[in-house]
Chains A and B, each alone.
Chain A
């Protein structure tokens, strides 16, 4: 638990496979810019970075056995309890990477409902940039998450001399981070609900009698 009542926490999902990874570089830029924008709004923020490469075996095992090994369990919990998600994946074969999707597949499908999401993606060339809008955004729409309208795509050239000079990566990062920070600031702090609290699964103040259709109980 953070100390300041206004403090927020974001979970950063980075699906890059190499190390160092340009996916992670983009994730770090987005995280830093988000922190700066939230600071301007007087909100302190901390980030939990989830490197999917480190969890690749656990993710596969979860798909096969139905349960998350401890390290993955802790990553999932940091997603569930976050005020917002920064999700960054490389584009493989015109879409998010398989590892990224597998991680999404082991999440509780209801857990992202209403959560602000900042989407990032990277690939070798800018020709893949629309994958954010035709592949990644529908995934979060399905999960009832709330991705901000700007997604940030970084091509390899964005990191060097041949970068886009008209709308440079820095400006795109700033725009996405501003929208994301404002979305987080608009919402109350995420409250972690305990699935094993009777108020969660029965409804506050209710009893098993209500599940029986009010035939007995109070």
Chain B
């Protein structure tokens, strides 16, 4: 169905969808899907995203009803087995309450199973009780983020880790397995809706910055992204224009603009987060939500680069607020059939050659090894004894590139 899809590199921008995994009553039919039904549906949606030529499918993480996605790598691995090309990502992975060791292991695993089609967005989460449920204190959200992420990088970049910190049991002679595919860790985006410290963190490491973008006026995100770009250059990773930016977005389309407005309004009016608040008209004016024809969506999103600069990834929220799966699949047809091809052309126009394309595993492997072979990890005979024999692997431990750009 999609053999002729243009590769993402043509415009440098990767397009996709992200889901928060809410299970919400359809306000027009009063039908609430079961968890089982919604989980089966999300797999269909992800498969169809690839079929219509999208580049990325990203899934949120929640630990309470009405959400299903407590275990994103399980779902993403299952989707990975049924797709061939689409990049599997998160929106977001909770860096505060997850054990960094499990993140390193789970996403390392997912890389191997999917041939490297994995990256992830780090977030702090917005559900207060998740912190105490996992034994953490929400007042320490920021220091948890900073320490846990520093450890996660170390686990991916060093074969044998000795580490002591404030928030986790110390590690001595620990190896996170499996090692990252080809010795190259998944690309990491840092997501934030308000904290400048997170933009700073992304810039410090030369990682990507993902602005969810769907709730606040663009002026807010312009400041946050502007700060990230400026600090990316400050830490010596390139020019501000070369920083790696991803954006969220939201659209509902029908061929006839008024049909889209009429059909989406009950979902908008009852949606979690903004339902029963601002009118749909006010909200579409203040945020990137666009309800109308595919051409209106094209026009609105083609202008994003005017606000934020040339960027690398655009994800759309299309499956929330109780929309039936049939409707979601139709939205994907419009997105893949009309909107994304037009946006690829728009974004390719006058894009400076030195602005990087959206990150892929293949490009990151090439950046580390050139044309040479990538590192392979073959455990030595005395597995597990990291303390006295140096490396648990047969080859000489080499820098794997993931950490090559950190720091000043």
Contacts and interface: CB of A to CB of B under 8 A. Distances in A.
Interface in A193-218: 195-196, 198, 200-202, 207-209, 211-213, 215-218
A198 B200 contact: yes
Contacts of A195: 196
A65 B273 contact: yes
A67 interface: yes
Nearest to B145: A211
B216 A67 contact: yes
A65 B223 contact: no
B196 A64 contact: no
A64 B269 CA distance: 12
Interface in A35-84: 57, 60-61, 64-67, 69-70, 73
Interface stretch (B26-34, B103-111, B275-283, B295-303): B275-283
B215 to A, nearest CB: 6
A40 to B, nearest CB: 40
Nearest to B196: A201
Contacts of A217: 407-408
A201 B406 CA distance: 20
A64 B274 CA distance: 6
Contacts of B227: 196, 198
A49 B203 CA distance: 40
B196 A61 contact: no
A212 B150 contact: yes
Contacts of A211: 143, 146, 197, 200-201
Contact of A208 (B147, B204, B217, B286): B204
A57, A60, A67 interface centre (most CB from chain B within 10 Å):
A67
B75 to A, nearest CB: 27
A67 B150 contact: no
B224 interface: yes
Category for how many chain A residues contact B? 20 to 34
Interface residues of B, number: 33
B276 to A, nearest CB: 7
Contacts of A73: 217
Contacts of A67: 215-217, 220, 286
A22 B400 CA distance: 71
Contact of B276 (A64, A69, A208, A215): A64
B192 to A, nearest CB: 12
Interface string B196-220: 1100110110000000000111001
A196 B223 contact: yes
Given A195-B196, A196-B196, A217-B407, A208 B278 contact: no
B274 A65 contact: yes
A70 B278 CA distance: 13
B282 A69 contact: yes
A65 B204 contact: no
A60 B197 CA distance: 28
A201 to B, nearest CB: 5
A207 B143 CA distance: 15
A150 to B, nearest CB: 36
A163 to B, nearest CB: 43
A70 B285 CA distance: 11
Given A67-B220, A208-B201, A198 B231 contact: yes
Interface string B377-407: 0000000000000000000000000000011
B41 to A, nearest CB: 27
Given A196-B223, A198-B231, A200-B196, 11 more contacts: A57-B278, A64-B276, A66-B216, A69-B282, A196-B226, A201-B195, A201-B197, A201-B200, A209-B407, A211-B201, A213-B147
12 contacts: A61-B278, A67-B217, A70-B217, A70-B286, A195-B196, A202-B200, A207-B408, A208-B201, A209-B408, A211-B146, A212-B146, A218-B408
